A = this chain, B = another copy of it.
Amino acid sequence: MTKSNTSRSTLHQTILADLERKIVSGEWPPGHKLPFEVELARSYEVSRMTVNKVMTQLTKAGLIERRKRSGTFVAKPRGQSAILEITDVEAEVRALNLPYSYKLMSSVIRKANRHDAALLEVPGTTDILEIRALHMAHGEPFCLEERLINLGTVPEAAHAPFADGPAGAWLVQRVPWSAAEHKIFAITATADIARLLEIAARVACLLIQRRTWSTAGPVTFVRFTYPGEKHAIVASFTPAAG
């Protein structure tokens, strides 16, 4: 049997896009069991190897987890992998073998002002949730988190228990992101930041800004401020990480 390429892209690209959409949109929530390779092959009317190619890519991307004999499942959205792990503050602290705690400082729902609108790329009429919180390691300030959440995309965040734990973890569990962007700066601590982080004024700080989108639109804008010099972002690379 031969193939004539009806659409513009290849078969496995089409299938990849379709499965990716189902996962990222939440139609297949985390933990959902995917059809077996043979069944997918039948339903898409392709050979099993084409399906396997797609599944391999999804696995590499971390969207699915595969276990022999039991099948393939939508991965719990770690939401971040590799480099992106730099903003899972709790994991960072625990990796240092320090006790972690979290302190919510403020949580306000309001209309987006012009500044928010620019950061989140939303219209000014949107409701947003603004959070300010402190990540603590061994009882001492480790990182300041300032976050905007787009309630237009994630309305249920309005009633989430953000006093109990980091908003990042909550979001990542229910809003699969489809794109993210990091910006990393060095800043001089303002008096405000210095007080919160319990450091001297005008000390250098590492500022990580992260914006996240789902297919439904902008999700969150967050700014992590780390006391400088004590903290580093590390990333390792190999040319062919095959």
A-to-B contact residues, CB < 8 Å: 13, 16, 20, 24, 57-58, 60-63, 81, 83-84, 176-188, 202-207, 226, 228-229, 231-242
Interface centre among A13, A83, A188, A202 (most CB of B within 10 A): A188
Q: Are the CB atoms of B57 and A178 closer together than 8 Å?
A: no
Q: Give this chain's copy count.
A: 2
Q: Which residue of B13, B20, B185, B226 is within 8 Å of A206 (Cβ)?
A: B185
Q: Are the CB atoms of B232 and A185 closer together than 8 Å?
A: yes
Q: Complex: how many Å from CA A232 to CA B84? A: 16
Q: Are the CB atoms of A204 and B180 closer together than 8 Å?
A: no
Q: Are the CB atoms of B206 and A186 closer together than 8 Å?
A: yes
Interface centre among A62, A183, A204, A206 (most CB of B within 10 A): A204
Q: Complex: how many Å from CA A94 to CA B162? A: 44
Closest to A19 in B: B240
Q: Complex: how many Å from CA A203 to CA B204? A: 7
Closest Cβ–Cβ distance, residue A43 to chain B (whole Å): 20
Closest to A233 in B: B184
Q: Are the CB atoms of B187 and A229 closer together than 8 Å?
A: yes
Q: Which residue of B13, B63, B240 is within 8 Å of A20 (Cβ)?
A: B240
Closest Cβ–Cβ distance, residue A226 to chain B (whole Å): 8
